[in-house]
Structure 1
Amino acid sequence: MTDSPIRTLTRRRVLPVGENGSLWETRPSCGIFAFRGTRLRLVVEDPAEILFPTDCGLSLISALNGDNAPGLEGVRALDIGAGSGLYSVALLAAGAELVTALDINPASAGQTTANVVANGLDGTRLTCVTSPLEEYTPDERFDLVITNPPHLPYDPSYATGNGLETALVARRGGRAVYDSVVERMDTLLAPGGTLLMAHSSLADIPRTVTELTARGYESETLEIFEMDIPLLAYAEHKETMLTLLKERRAAGQAEFDGSRFTVHALMFRRPAGATGR
């Protein structure tokens, strides 16, 4: 893959080719992972409704176990696109004061709550909201926002409208949720707060970094992970999806090599003196 300035001096972890879930410590009928000294367990009751977290999402969890990761104790956090509750569970286990799990998929609330309770965490510190990001207006801004947006390009030939599509596919060439996050961040994140994002190289990382830094946010890449493009769920439409991705690559809006791409664990800090829009 072509080097870019965003990757300078950032550790890059290359995950094995063709191995699904290689960041999971254990994944039989459920997923088990370690986060900041605690072993946590994640279950998805209906994989057709809620995507079991992939390496793309888990990469941010892995990066947050590193030395340069921000503190999570006592934060008020927003988990955008909560899905099965991977980030909500991890944040609460790490000492977050309150976590709001936001997802457009109604099935997310029940599964996230179940996973929080199953890990022995305080369910009263969790609030689940079913809403599009564009329509969500919190009472107060958050200290921390965390997200792993869908990043595969939409095409009518493989549109399903189920939870799997919600988690993986987005319009505007896979950028719809990234664009919404950037647009809404000043209204969601408190001055001095932190945005944590698992950002796919298939969805124009430089654009997101440029737009947020133009708003005054400080940008840092915690870690880079190279892995397989998650085409297994779209095997029948693999060529259609790859054609769309190649078009985006030719336009300078995606980076990948064959079936391998990268996920950047990004951290953006909002200036303490920012007043917002």
Structure 2
Amino acid sequence: MTVAPIQALTRRRALPVGQNGSLWEARPSCGIFEFRGTRLRIAVEDPTEILFPTDCGLSLIAALDGGGGPDLEGVSALDIGAGSGLYSVALLAAGAGRVTALDINPASAAQTAANVVANGLDTTRLTCVTSPLGEYSPDERFDLVITNPPHLPYDPSYARGDGLETALVARSGGRAVYEDVVERIDALLVPGGTLLMAHSSLADVPRTVRELTARGYESGTLEIFEMDIPLLTYAEHKDTMLRLLRERRAAGLAEFDGSRFTVHVLTFRRPPDDGRR
């Protein structure tokens, strides 16, 4: 599996202000998108339990559809934080041999499988697993790992304890899942394999790049998207969340301007023969 060369000047796409879901043709519980020549549909039966994919998550799809990233034909892939199955559906439609959809939210498995079926894709190529990433021990490693981690900082005042929280909010200043991915990636990815990540500028992009390049991973940026901070679900706690984000920005751990932030679509390629097991 090969990674396409990254352009020296990374493309930056600014999404319209105040138009949540502007990459979608329909909202808020059903969306239609095209990926590598196939028109696909994602639905969420209970939007209070499973987050309908936001522009943050869809940005990775848009970047890959633009001709960047790896060849997906025949790969074995792990979708970390599968949610509604957006990435699992796209990968299967693009010819992935096998996809494992991993999510801590039990409702994700049924919703992902339903979206695979609704798009006429082969369910025998899909495996759904309900588990925290830190406790997940696969029998084999994958050619491709893809993820859009939760990236908003946690605070007890707006703790929900539901599927929407697991999709949007994480401890360690919004970095908990990023840290788990970095810690576990060698156990999940074959030598020469690729990690694809939609990385929020609210969660310290440079740190993730530093930590993975220090391990010998080749890094690149496919595209950068500018968009609104997804505060709609936490509207009544907006002031608290923005205060936490400003504190992280003052410490050099987040980047945003007013209510606008960026999502960096990143690729990390593990060296083919790095000697690690």
Q: TM-score, normalised by structure 2?
A: 0.96
- Residue in 2 that maps onto 1:3: none
Offset from partner CA, 1:207-248 (integer Å, 9 cap, x none): 000000000000000000000000111110000000000000
Q: Is the 8 A contact 2:77 2:99 kept in 1?
A: yes
- Residues of 1 paired with 2:187 and 2:275: CA distance? 10
Matched ranges for 1:168-183 at <5 A: 168-183=168-183
| Alignment size in residue pairs | 272
- Residues of 2 paired with 1:275 and 1:124: CA distance? 33
- Residue in 2 that maps onto 1:33: 33
- Residues of 1 paired with 2:38 and 2:69: CA distance? 16
- Residues of 1 paired with 2:28 and 2:242: CA distance? 30
- Residues of 1 paired with 2:166 and 2:94: CA distance? 27
- Residues of 2 paired with 1:105 and 1:256: CA distance? 29
Q: Is the 8 A contact 2:218 2:270 kept in 1?
A: yes
- Residues of 2 paired with 1:133 and 1:26: CA distance? 31
Q: CA 1:28 to 1:102, structure 2 compared with 1: closer, same or farther past 3 Å? A: closer
- Residue in 2 that maps onto 1:235: 235
- Residue in 2 that maps onto 1:143: 143
Q: How far has the Cα of 1:8 moved from its partner?
A: 6.4
- Residues of 2 paired with 1:198 and 1:218: CA distance? 16
Q: Is the 8 A contact 2:13 2:224 kept in 1?
A: yes
- Residues of 2 paired with 1:223 and 1:191: CA distance? 24
| Residue ranges of structure 2 left out of the alignment (5+ in a row) | 1-5
- Residue in 2 that maps onto 1:95: 95
- Residues of 1 paired with 2:179 and 2:121: CA distance? 32
Q: Which runs of 4+ in 1 moved over 6 A?
A: none
Letter in 2 for 1:269: R
- Residues of 1 paired with 2:273 and 2:264: CA distance? 27
Q: Does 2:200 align with 1:200?
A: yes
Letter in 1 for 2:252: G
- Residues of 2 paired with 1:94 and 1:12: CA distance? 25
Secondary structure at the aligned position of 1:64 is classed as helix
Matched ranges for 1:67-78 at <5 A: 67-78=67-78
Q: Is the 8 A contact 1:25 1:34 kept in 2?
A: no
Q: Is the 8 A contact 1:73 1:95 kept in 2?
A: yes
Q: What is the aligned-residue RMSD (CA, Å)?
A: 1.3
Secondary structure at the aligned position of 2:65 is classed as coil
- Residues of 1 paired with 2:247 and 2:276: CA distance? 35
- Residue in 2 that maps onto 1:160: 160
- Residue in 1 that maps onto 2:82: 82
Q: Is the 8 A contact 1:143 1:194 kept in 2?
A: yes
- Residues of 2 paired with 1:8 and 1:249: CA distance? 27
Q: Is the 8 A contact 1:220 1:266 kept in 2?
A: yes
- Residues of 1 paired with 2:58 and 2:275: CA distance? 33
Letter in 2 for 1:54: T
Q: CA 1:209 to 1:7, structure 2 compared with 1: closer, same or farther past 3 Å? A: farther
Q: Is the 8 A contact 1:187 1:276 kept in 2?
A: no
Q: TM-score, normalised by structure 1?
A: 0.96
- Residue in 1 that maps onto 2:117: 117
Q: How far has the Cα of 1:7 moved from its partner?
A: 10
